[in-house]
Amino acid sequence: MKNAFLLLVLSSAASAASAPFLPASTLRYEPTAQELMADCRSAKKRAEAALEAVARMPAGSRTFDNTPWALDQIGSDLSDNTASDTFLKYVSVSSSVRDAGNDCETLLGQFSVDVYSREDLYRALKEYAAKGEALNGESKRLVEKELLDFKRSGLELPKDKRDEVVALRKKLVELEATFGKNINEYKDFALFDKSELDGLPEDFVARLEKVDGKYKVGLDYPDYFPFMENSSNPAARRVMEAKFNDRASLQNLPVLKEVLALRLKAANLLGYPTHAHFILEDRMAKDPKTVAGFVARLRKKLKVLGADELLTLKSLKYVFEGRASDGRFNAWDWRFYDNQLKKAKYAVDAQKIKEYFPADYVTEQMLGVYQKLLGLKFRRIEDAATWHPDVKLFEITDAAGGDPIAYFYLDLFPREGKYKHAAAFSMITGRALTDGRYQKPVSSMVANFNKSTKDRPSLLTHDEVETFFHEFGHIMHQTLTKAKYGRFAGSATARDFVEAPSQMLENWVWDGEVLQSLSGHYLDHSKKLPNELLGKMLAAKNVNSGLVNLRQLLFGSVDQLYHGAPPADTTAAYARLASDIAMIPTSAGTHPEASFGHLMGYDAGYYGYLWSKVYAEDMFSRFKAEGVLSPVLGRRYRTEILERGSSRDEMDSLKAFLGREPNEDAFLESIGLKPGKS
């Protein structure tokens, strides 16, 4: 279970030691593993003492400030005080420090289970609530949510059952951390002769390491995706896909089986039929039936579209392979033929396009778009202490001036042991402090864009530019918060809404004016993306949108199935749903669920990516109508969505921004479907 105290504690991040500048005094960048764990334990001990003080307060002396707000402050303080400790699990160059960060995260997760299993704290909160003080808005919401947290942790159960739930939750914290660590630390690669690298860009091949005369291709994104999109050798693609979709299977399959069983057992003890019922109670969707209806409704609209797209891809495969074709469309065919279709039908060459998106220039121009849209000013802080030389630190001020309101780091390039995907980590939580000040938030964007070589700077594909906008949207959500309480700050919203603000901002990279401003050829930034190429890109936007979105429905459906009645064979269940929903079978011998990291953080919630996408497109419809760079509308978005966090119900924030009830029409139009039509 992810209760509020746990989320506050584990939303940490940052790092480093002695430094010319730090955005928050609690951040440390270069601890040893021993120092990290000592700091983690010390912070936990201080939190324990603070909680004890709340629990032992004399009867009749409870107020909002010394009980519900105090609990929120203690959790937020612990999160801030261990921010570096837990974040270093994902970014440190030292394997021992990464291990220590994982141990700290596990320790804090188990501690949070203890916190919400304490009868004395629950009694304290109920004692305050029984006073019936008139509370409004965010303060009333805080008390309601905290009471629910204790109830969902089993405080209404008999002690023996409650103790069982606590034991299960502590074990789950450990297993979930292990699952993620196994993925992050997994290393594998394939070796190919030069003759096996047909179709791959020269710059890609040139940067590959050689081992015994062969070219080494790893499974991290900067290697895997370009390889799968461009390799015209189906046997080589098959080797890579088999390795990629079998990552960490030996380690993680037994972990996953145990996690699913323990989650179900804990949910049953708490009175819920399944783990999905437990999770969804506190989400916008509320229950599995609503999610199932959403998936079925969308799947029906996408299935015919996806079937037509698959026929086109199969035909294209036959053109390429002729009689050598196996007559099937395989998992290792998907990315290659999707890319070839874009080239053949729309003359969209991702490798040519990326010449116009050098990472440094895109970063500069993207920051300009966000500044203009949201009324902000970003300034890079030179010589700032960071956890790696590649990392850059920026301060945020309002465009009108004044003191800094927040800070963010950009850590954009891969390295050994680093987090494999792209994500935004909330490091220091924005919130009101008891002395009347507002704490300045700090966040970090972590990505894995290809690094510069001696011949070329880092160049981004258009997909990577879109990823950049998405993750930076999370950074804005986290750093522009004005929520009073830490548990509602930034992106600490209902999990099936949290992606909507950043998904909404992906649309900017499909606007012609914005795309032109972001582009500048790596040899001469004044040379923008040619209009002809731009037009083809925009025309190709919805190529295979049916299959792409069916793939998202697959992930959401696998997640829901696993967290309903867990299947005895997770691999067979995954394969059945892949063929049925995504219409592309999994490869024999692979176990994709073993590297499905979202099962540990988005458990029973992966559907939220498409659920929130519906709201994202609805919000964007206002910008589409009134101007994608409208500072007036951008300010309204900042005020009604980004600054609010979860300080009010997410549906209320949507209605406030839209000025009406949300609907699915804009989403359907965005993927090439007519509203109301199958």
pLDDT tens, residue by residue, 145-155? 999 999 999 99
pLDDT given for residue 11 in this prediction: 42
Nearest to 409 by CA among 386, 439, 440: 386
Residues whose CB falls within 8 Å of the CB of residue 300, separated by 6 or more in sequence, listed in order: 678
Q: Which two tokens stand for residue 190?
A: 């394939």
Rounded to whole angstroms, the maximal C-alpha distance in the chain is: 84
pLDDT tens digits for range 223-280 = 999 999 999 999 999 999 999 999 999 999 999 999 999 999 999 999 999 999 999 9
3-state DSSP helix/strand/coil % of the chain, to nearest 5: 60, 5, 35
pLDDT tens digits for range 162-205 = 999 999 999 999 999 999 999 989 999 999 999 999 999 998 99
How much of the chain exceeds pLDDT 90, in percent? 87
Find out whether 556 and 609 touch, Cβ atoms under 8 Å: yes
State the pLDDT confidence band at 676, using cuts at 50, 70 and 90.
low
- Cα distance between residue 45 and residue 28, in whole Å: 19
Mean pLDDT of the chain: 93
State the pLDDT confidence band at 672, using cuts at 50, 70 and 90.
confident
pLDDT given for residue 163 in this prediction: 94
pLDDT given for residue 674 in this prediction: 79
- Cα distance between residue 504 and residue 615, in whole Å: 8
Q: Which two tokens stand for residue 96?
A: 């021992």
- Cα distance between residue 653 and residue 568, in whole Å: 41
State the pLDDT confidence band at 59, using cuts at 50, 70 and 90.
confident
pLDDT tens digits for range 443-499 = 999 999 999 988 899 999 999 999 999 999 999 999 999 999 999 999 999 999 999
Residues of CATH 1.20.1050.40 domain(s) within the chain? 4-154
List the catalytic residue out of 471, 499, 506, 593.
471
Q: Is residue 87 over pLDDT 90?
A: yes
- Domain 4-154 in CATH 1.10.3720.10: no
pLDDT given for residue 678 in this prediction: 45
The CATH-assigned architecture of domain 355-539 is 3-Layer(aba) Sandwich (3.40)
Any idea of the CA torsion for 584, 588, 594, 595, to the nearest 10 degrees? -50
Find out whether 374 and 406 touch, Cβ atoms under 8 Å: no
pLDDT given for residue 596 in this prediction: 96
Burial degree of 557 (CB within 10 A; 0-12, 13-18, 19+)? buried
SS (H, E, C) 588-634: CCCCHHHHCCHHHHCCCCCCHHHHHHHHHHHHHHHHHHHCCCCHHHH
Find out whether 115 and 121 touch, Cβ atoms under 8 Å: yes
Burial degree of 372 (CB within 10 A; 0-12, 13-18, 19+)? middle
Please state the rounded mean pLDDT for residues 356-376. 97
pLDDT given for residue 349 in this prediction: 87
DSSP string, 421-449: S-EEEEEE--EE-TTS-EEPPEEEEE--P
- Cα distance between residue 82 and residue 343, in whole Å: 48
pLDDT tens digits for range 301-343 = 999 999 999 999 999 999 999 988 888 999 999 999 999 999 8
- Cα distance between residue 253 and residue 47, in whole Å: 35
- Cα distance between residue 17 and residue 581, in whole Å: 50
Q: What are phi and psi of 41, to 5 degrees?
A: -65, -35
- Cα distance between residue 303 and residue 284, in whole Å: 26
- Cα distance between residue 154 and residue 527, in whole Å: 62
pLDDT tens digits for range 119-131 = 999 999 999 999 9
Residues of CATH 3.40.390.10 domain(s) within the chain? 355-539
Find out whether 11 and 105 touch, Cβ atoms under 8 Å: no
- Give yes or no: 513 in active site: no
Q: Is residue 16 over pLDDT 60?
A: no
pLDDT given for residue 675 in this prediction: 74
Residue type (1 letter), 507:
N
Q: Nearest 5 degrees, angle CA 444-CA 447-CA 448?
A: 155
Residues whose CB falls within 8 Å of the CB of residue 671, separated by 6 or more in sequence, listed in order: 542, 545, 546, 549
How much of the chain exceeds pLDDT 70, in percent? 97
pLDDT tens digits for range 594-638 = 999 999 988 999 999 999 999 999 999 999 999 999 999 999 999
pLDDT given for residue 20 in this prediction: 54
State the pLDDT confidence band at 5, using cuts at 50, 70 and 90.
low
Residues whose CB falls within 8 Å of the CB of residue 648, separated by 6 or more in sequence, listed in order: 137, 138, 141
Residue type (1 letter), 52:
E
